[in-house]
């Protein structure tokens, strides 16, 4: 589907498409706005892009190329079924974008590379194309950031676009204009159209010219501030420099067919080298993109590392607060223990005094009973003495009742004080359990933070060797964390010892309560006879209290703490087995002494292996540490 050569006829009143081409997007957009002010219809947008741009993008994708490719468009594409498919889509896009407009503007940048295709489409639509090419130099491409690092891809991209648009529009009505002349206003577009293409633009009034001058003013200041003509670029390749000279001459004096042979030669030589250049520049672009990705990843990893360090500092602060609160609770528990010891001593002294008083009263009672028996034998002789003795006996009984009431009041007071102490012990126990849970949660959060920190450090080491210094910092942080864990373990051991002391005090208080109940029972004449026998027979409660006292003497706080540690180790071993991070078979094969001892491998690791530096699985041993 090669374009058919046409000659511009005078007064050809068919629909006209102004095809605006050029390599510089800024000057092309300025010229497009100027032509729109002068009466050329621009494409209406459909979504994020106009229909013409969408068709061009899909054509380049179907041909396996893009705007930055230095190789020419595959000539076989024009003979493929895809060319006919997009031919119909291009006709629909023209209808969608411009409808029945008699003068419209095609200014998409990709049309220069697809010029043969669009010339055939316009011919099929019975539209007369007029081509306006804005000439800039390779220097504009470099200054507008079209290179890849130090590789001058902009020079060759400019050459590819200019050669494609020239060869693709050859034989059509066209005009090459210096972009400086168009943007600066030195060249009158209405006059140029009338002279070069034989028709006038519809809005060439004085009002339109005023608006056009105002619009070009801002573009003139930003694009060509010095007002001088675009200089010849002296550092480009021989091909680009020769082609630039031809296009500059066409801008000044008009196109000559003698230059076509030179451009065809340049195009042929450039096409031969384009494939290798494309590979080189694609590799350069990919390398530059990879460098940017690595820099962004390094920035993200650095930021994540800083966040982890901040989180670790916050966790240290919270751990210090928890340790301070735990120390305060321990001090309060010691104070309570001292108060309980004082209360126990006070209770013991009061009990001894009550026992002495009760023994004295019993002795007095026995003496009075003996005197009553003697008085009964001499009743006949001493009636008056018996009467007085009876009165004395009544008085003594009243005193005994009063003494018993006082003892009952003291017993109630002692029970109230014991209840208050029990409440204090329960409250302290609850607080200590809550603090233990907080320590456990802090330990779990700290373990997660250390694991995430190790993962981030591994990623940073793979990306760049410049962060090795950070790895040393993290090792020092790990050492500090190990010291903090050791201090926390010591604090937990002290808490367990305090729990053992409280358990011992509880047993002693129960024994004292039982003894108070025995003392509080009222004595009667009938029970006094059996008192000795009852005292000789040990009750179940008395036997239980004695057993508890014997166990309390045997189990020292150290043994009680060891039992609590083993129970806690069993719970941690169960959690470790469920987590999937512990390899029991590997552990037994790696440490045959554990298998020989017949111990549960997870329990051995929590109880002994972790402190001995053993590894829970093969991956942990390969990385040089435990959890």
Rounded to 5 degrees, what are φ and ψ at 73?
-60, 135
Instruction: Tell me the pLDDT band of 551, cut-offs 50, 70 and 90.
Output: very low
Strand partners, 618: none
Q: What is the pLDDT of residue 555?
A: 45
> Which of 224-233, 355-364, 386-395, 398-407 is least confident?
224-233
Q: What is the pLDDT of residue 357?
A: 87
CA distance 534 to 543: 14
> Which of 99-113, 445-459, 531-545 is least confident?
531-545
Q: What is the pLDDT of residue 536?
A: 43
Q: What is the pLDDT of residue 326?
A: 86
Three-state SS for 15? strand
Mean pLDDT for the stretch of residues 310-328: 88
Q: What is the pLDDT of residue 526?
A: 42
Element containing residue 19 per DSSP (H, E): strand 15-22
The more confidently predicted of residues 612 and 562 is 612
Cβ neighbours for 235, distance < 8 A, ≥ 6 positions apart? none
Strand partners, 607: none
Rounded to 5 degrees, what are φ and ψ at 231?
-75, 155
Mean pLDDT, all residues of the chain: 77
Could you tell me the CA-to-CA distances from 355 to 196, 269, 525 in Å, in that order? 135, 126, 18
Q: What is the pLDDT of residue 309?
A: 86
Q: What is the pLDDT of residue 284?
A: 66
Q: What is the pLDDT of residue 5?
A: 44
> Which of 48-57, 309-318, 497-506, 519-528 is least confident?
519-528
CA distance 178 to 135: 5
- Tokens linked to 544: 């239980």
* Cβ atoms 552, 504 nearer than 8 A: yes
Instruction: Tell me the pLDDT band of 547, cut-offs 50, 70 and 90.
Output: very low
> Which of 337-346, 352-361, 472-481 is least confident?
472-481
Q: What is the pLDDT of residue 210?
A: 80
**For the chain, how many residues are written?**
627
Q: What is the pLDDT of residue 590?
A: 93
CA distance 570 to 573: 5
Strand partners, 456: none
Q: What is the pLDDT of residue 548?
A: 40
Q: What is the pLDDT of residue 505?
A: 64
Q: What is the pLDDT of residue 298?
A: 86
Per-residue model confidence as pLDDT tens digits over 64-77: 888 777 788 888 89
CA distance 118 to 21: 13
Count CB neighbours of 372 within 10 A: 14
């Amino acid at each position: 589907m090669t374009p058919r050569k046409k000659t511009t006829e005078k007064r050809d009143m068919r629909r006209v498409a102004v095809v605006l081409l050029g390599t510089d997007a800024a000057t092309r957009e300025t010229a497009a706005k100027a032509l729109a002010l002068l009466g050329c219809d621009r494409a209406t947008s459909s979504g994020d892009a106009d229909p013409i741009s969408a068709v061009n993008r899909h054509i380049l994708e179907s041909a396996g190329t893009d705007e930055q490719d230095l190789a020419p468009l595959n000539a076989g594409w024009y003979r493929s079924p895809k060319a006919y498919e997009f031919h119909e889509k291009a006709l629909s896009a023209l209808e969608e974008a411009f409808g029945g407009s008699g003068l419209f503007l095609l200014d998409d940048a990709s049309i220069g590379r697809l010029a043969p295709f669009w010339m055939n489409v316009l011919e099929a639509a019975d539209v007369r194309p007029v081509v306006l090419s804005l000439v800039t130099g390779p220097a504009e491409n470099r200054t507008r950031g079209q290179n890849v690092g130090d590789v001058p891809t902009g020079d060759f991209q400019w050459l590819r676009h200019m050669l494609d648009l020239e060869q693709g529009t050859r034989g059509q009505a066209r005009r090459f204009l210096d972009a400086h002349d168009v943007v600066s206003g030195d060249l009158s577009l209405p006059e140029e159209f009338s002279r070069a293409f034989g028709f006038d633009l519809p809005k060439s009034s004085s009002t339109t010219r005023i608006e056009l001058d105002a619009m070009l003013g801002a573009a003139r200041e930003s694009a060509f501030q010095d007002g001088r003509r675009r200089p010849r670029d002296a550092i480009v390749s021989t091909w680009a420099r020769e082609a630039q000279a031809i296009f500059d001459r066409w801008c000044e004096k008009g196109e000559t067919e003698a230059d076509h042979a030179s451009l065809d030669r340049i195009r042929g030589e450039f096409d031969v080298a384009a494939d290798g250049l494309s590979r080189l520049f694609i590799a350069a672009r990919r390398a530059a993109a990879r460098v940017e990705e690595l820099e962004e990843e390094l920035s993200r990893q650095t930021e994540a590392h800083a966040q982890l360090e901040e989180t670790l500092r916050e966790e240290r602060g919270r751990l210090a607060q928890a340790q301070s609160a735990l120390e305060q609770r321990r001090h309060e528990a010691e104070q309570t223990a001292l108060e309980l010891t004082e209360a126990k001593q006070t209770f013991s002294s009061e009990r001894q005094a009550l026992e002495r008083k009760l023994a004295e009263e019993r002795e007095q009672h026995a003496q009075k009973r003996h005197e009553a028996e003697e008085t009964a034998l001499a009743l006949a002789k001493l009636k008056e003495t018996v009467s007085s003795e009876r009165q004395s006996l009544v008085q003594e009984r009243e005193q005994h009742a009063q003494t018993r009431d006082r003892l009952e009041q003291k017993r109630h007071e002692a029970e109230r004080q014991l209840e208050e102490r029990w409440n204090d012990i329960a409250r302290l126990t609850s607080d200590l359990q809550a603090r233990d849970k907080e320590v456990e949660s802090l330990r779990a959060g700290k373990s997660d933070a250390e694991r995430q920190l190790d993962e981030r450090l591994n990623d940073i080491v793979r990306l760049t060797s410049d962060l090795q210094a950070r790895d040393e910092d993290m090792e020092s942080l790990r050492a500090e964390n190990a010291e903090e864990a050791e201090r926390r373990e010591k604090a937990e051991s002290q808490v367990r010892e305090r729990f053992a002391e409280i358990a011992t005090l509880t047993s002693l208080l129960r024994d004292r309560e039982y003894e108070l109940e025995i003392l509080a029972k009222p004595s009667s004449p009938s029970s006094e006879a059996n008192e000795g026998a009852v005292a000789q027979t040990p009750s179940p409660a008395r036997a239980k209290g004695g057993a508890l006292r014997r166990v309390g003497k045997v189990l020292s706080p150290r043994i009680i703490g060891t039992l609590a540690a083993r129970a806690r180790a069993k719970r941690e071993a169960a959690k470790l087995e469920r987590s999937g991070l512990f390899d029991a078979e590997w552990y037994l094969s790696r440490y045959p002494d554990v298998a020989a001892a017949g111990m549960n491998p997870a329990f051995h690791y929590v109880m002994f292996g972790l402190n001995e530096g053993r590894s829970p699985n093969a991956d942990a041993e390969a990385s040089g540490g435990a959890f």
